[in-house]
C-alpha cells in the first residue's frame, strides 16, 4: 500500500493544533485594501479556527497532520 499524499495547497493554508482543531488565516486581507475601513482590516489580523462543518474535509487533505 503506498503512502497517502498530503494536499500541498492545504498544507500551506492550514495547521492542526494540539487539541485537534484546525487553524487558518483570515481571508480578504490581500488586495483592494484602500476601500476597507481600518477597523475591518484590523479585525482580519491573526488566525482563526476552521468552522466545524469543514474540519472533516480539511483533515482528509492533511492525513499526517
In a domain, residue 61? The reply is: yes
- Phi then psi for residue 63, to 5 deg, are -65, -25
At 48, the pLDDT band (50, 70, 90 cuts) reads: very high
What domain range is 60 assigned to?
1-25+40-65
38 SS3 class? helix
User: What rounded mean pLDDT belongs to the chain?
Assistant: 96
15 SS3 class? strand
Cell numbers standing for residue 24: 487558518
In a domain, residue 58? The reply is: yes
Average pLDDT over residues 37-48: 97
Identify which of 53, 64, 50, 48 has the alpha carbon closest to the alpha carbon of residue 7.
Answer: 64
Average pLDDT over residues 44-64: 97
d(CA 24, CA 10): 10
Q: How many independent structural domains does the chain possess?
A: 1
CATH classification of the domain holding 53 = 4.10.410.60
Q: pLDDT tens digits, residue range 15-29? A: 999 999 999 999 999
Q: What is the pTM of this model?
A: 0.85
Question: Are the CB atoms for 20 and 59 separated by under 8 Å?
Answer: no
Amino acid at each position: 500500500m503506498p503512502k497517502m499524499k498530503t494536499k500541498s495547497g492545504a498544507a500551506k493554508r492550514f495547521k492542526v493544533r494540539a487539541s485537534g482543531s484546525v487553524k487558518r488565516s483570515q481571508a480578504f486581507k490581500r488586495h483592494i485594501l484602500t476601500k476597507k475601513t481600518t477597523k475591518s482590516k484590523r479585525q482580519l489580523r491573526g488566525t482563526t479556527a476552521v468552522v466545524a462543518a469543514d474540519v472533516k474535509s480539511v483533515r482528509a487533505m492533511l492525513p499526517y497532520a
